[in-house]
Chain A
């Protein structure tokens, strides 16, 4: 297979001309670059000229602990089959990123969706602020990490009530302590800590 040569090709293409913060070869058909915010447009233009003509996906990730959003652009070349992820970080306070509408017209609705679910502004896209999927939304954008859908659901929608009874078969103190520890460990692992 010549798939690794494609990866090498795109890797040298990007690394010779741009300052890549982090490079990662995900699989034999996929490579990811993390670049600076200002270089995204030039990089996407270069890739489009080299044959990465299809915008596959555009979205954002909320890194709430770093106080940053990460924007992801994925482009695809069908002649040299490689998906290229381009990631960049923008500030979480008043997030804004210039639209890539002149490069990939297909991004129009992706950007509207990112604005709706994360609140990232896209100057250059005339319709980015219009509501797309939600209707009459009155809370913070729902895909942010600090939004709690359970609390929203409890406040807005009536729940069916069930009668539940729990019986603790063993009420010894040592058992209670064990239960508490187990709960703590589950929460710690959930957040990405060690087992």
Chain B
């Protein structure tokens, strides 16, 4: 017997309802990828362990990119890291969220004129939440995660959709700055 309630809804509406249910579970159990790209990662151990206890927000560290939901970009990104970061970001399964911690991800911060550090992260991968500060307190980092949950609830954390939609633009920026995204060294050949 076919359900009368659901037969009245169109396919889009059913999809939307399933996404809402999914988002509810997703935002209450976020797995963040353990990739310390820069110095703001030093405030993560206090956040993860007993002092601030991130698990009360339902967050935990995850070792592999394929099982993780949140990519933390903790601070400055040198060109060498950016290559690995793009690899990592593209390996993560969707939906995926990016949190940029520290002022270096926003405008280059204290390294704004360095020859090795990029200035603006959202030119290369889409960013959902920024946490400002050099370095931000643990409370600020935790607040950023709460903001991310709120954004997921209100369906505004859709950076991964932007990455699909504007893929060519992102790829062009990556190649402009990096030359080539593929890692080439004696180990990889």
Q: Which residues of A contact B (CB under 8 A)?
A: 130-131, 134-136, 138-139, 142, 147, 149-150, 152-153, 156-160
Contact = CB atoms under 8 A, between A and B. Distances in A.
A134 B83 CA distance: 12
Contact of A158 (B115, B120, B185): B120
Interface string B106-122: 11100011111111100
Interface in B94-142: 106-108, 112-120, 123
Q: Give the interface SS of chain A, mostly helix, strand, loop or mixed.
A: loop
Contacts of A150: 113
Contact of B107 (A131, A142, A156, A160): A160
B115 A142 contact: yes
Contacts of A142: 115-116
Contacts of A153: 108, 112-115, 117, 119
Interface residues of B, number: 26
B118 A157 contact: yes
Contacts of B185: 131, 135
B177 to A, nearest CB: 5
Contacts of A152: 115
Interchain residue pairs A-B with the least CB separation, the first 4: A149-B115, A160-B107, A150-B113, A152-B115
Q: Give the interface SS of chain B, mostly helix, strand, loop or mixed.
A: loop
A158 B119 contact: yes
29 contacts: A134-B116, A135-B79, A135-B83, A135-B183, A135-B185, A136-B179, A138-B179, A139-B115, A142-B115, A149-B113, A149-B114, A150-B113, A153-B108, A153-B113, A153-B114, A153-B119, A157-B108, A157-B118, A157-B120, A157-B177, A158-B119, A158-B120, A158-B123, A158-B176, A159-B112, A159-B119, A159-B120, A160-B106, A160-B120
Contacts of A139: 115
Nearest to B116: A134
Contacts of B120: 157-160
Contacts of A131: 185
A157 to B, nearest CB: 5
B80 interface: yes
Contacts of A157: 108, 117-120, 177
Given A153-B112, A153-B114, A156-B176, A135 B119 contact: no
B184 interface: yes
Interface string B172-186: 010011111001111
